[in-house]
């Protein structure tokens, strides 16, 4: 069966690394992204160089119409075999009392509602052997006090989504897992107002350093690969011991 995977937020960071890794493993890819056309085009070019098919689709995952467009574009590559729910945002790091309602709503909208809507599209389209990987966060169990408790709470919801959906889709032979990264070197920390967080946080990570996007991509590729056929409902922590 040809692997055709939708990955949201595939233009940069963990999503881009995962798209490249999956292409190397034989997947054709539909890359969803928000605004960065150039970054998405660069990922597509790399996938083409690896001999796979790819399409980049600007698709805000909070908008059901745009999500539908992403999955319709993926269908042109062949029947869907996997979804990587990855598009996510943070908001400015700070105490809980300083959290602004708009930031809270955006984090819930993109990181939870977006994941649910994309998973629903995938659940309609996937057949036996299909799989979903949700990118969660180690924050889900750490709680992120003084940083972004609301983000951590939403990532915990991602884990619950993973567990419930794994059970609901198992009778159809569809697996659902999550990867929970720790602090990974991407642009997301700029959005939270601490661009050098990967370096400043190193001292509190047991392995003594932040992770790289490729190190998360490897976990996603394993969960979507032939060695994980009995793995479902798992949350695989890739967090350097955090
Ligand atoms: P990133 O480098 O900031 O990249 C975010 C990606 O998501 C970009 O491709 C962006 O598209 C896309 N995106 C953002 N909002 C979107 C929306 N509304 N609709 C569609 N696409 C959207 O982030 P990252 O660090 O790779 O994070 C990826 C995932 O890993 C997120 O779910 C995040 O919560 C999770 N995570 C990250 C870390 C970490 O330390 N980096 C740790 C734990 C979990 P554009 O390029 O068009 O802007």
The SS3 of residue 204 is helix
Query: Range of 184's domain?
Result: 4-238
Which protein residues touch ligand 1 with a CB less than 6 Å away? 8-9, 11-15, 32-36, 39, 60-62, 86-89, 110, 135, 137, 181, 183-184, 186-188
d(CA 160, CA 24): 30
d(CA 226, CA 55): 24
CATH of the domain at 98: 3.40.50.720
Q: In angstroms, how far is CA 185 from the centroid of its own chain?
A: 15
Residue pLDDT, tens place only, 142-197: 999 999 999 999 999 999 999 999 999 999 999 999 999 999 999 999 989 999 99
Which residues are marked as active site? 151
pTM: 0.98
> Which residue of 87, 150, 201, 237 sits with most ligand 1 atoms within 8 Å of its CB, as the best mutation to test the pocket?
87
Q: How many CB atoms lie within 10 A of CB 102?
A: 9
**Reported confidence tier of residue 23, pLDDT bands at 50, 70, 90:** very high
pLDDT (0 to 100) of residue 147: 96
Who contacts 178 (Cβ-Cβ below 8 Å, separation ≥6)?
A: 133, 134, 135, 136, 158, 159, 162, 234, 235, 236
Count how many domains the chain has: 1
């Amino acid at each position: 069966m040809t692997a055709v995977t939708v990955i949201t937020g595939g233009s940069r960071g963990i999503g881009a690394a995962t798209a490249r890794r999956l292409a190397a493993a034989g997947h054709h890819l539909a890359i969803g992204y928000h605004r960065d056309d150039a970054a998405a085009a660069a990922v597509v070019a790399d996938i083409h160089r690896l001999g796979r098919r790819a399409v980049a689709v600007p698709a805000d995952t909070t908008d059901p119409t745009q999500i539908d467009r992403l999955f319709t574009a993926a269908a042109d590559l062949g029947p869907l075999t996997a979804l990587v729910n990855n598009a996510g945002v943070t908001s400015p790091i700070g105490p809980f009392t300083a959290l602004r309602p708009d930031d809270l709503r955006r984090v819930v909208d993109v990181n939870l509602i977006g994941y649910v809507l994309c998973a629903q599209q995938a659940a309609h389209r996937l057949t036996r052997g299909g799989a979903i990987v949700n990118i969660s966060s180690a924050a889900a169990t750490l709680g992120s006090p003084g940083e972004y408790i609301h983000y951590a709470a939403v990532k915990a919801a991602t884990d619950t989504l993973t567990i419930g959906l794994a059970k609901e889709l198992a009778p159809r032979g569809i697996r659902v897992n999550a990867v929970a990264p720790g602090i990974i070197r991407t642009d997301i920390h700029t959005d939270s107002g601490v661009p050098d967080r990967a370096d400043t946080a190193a001292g509190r990570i047991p392995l003594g350093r932040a992770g790289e996007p490729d190190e998360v991509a490897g976990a996603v590729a394993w969960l979507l690969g032939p060695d994980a056929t009995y793995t479902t409902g798992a949350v695989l922590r890739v967090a350097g011991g955090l």
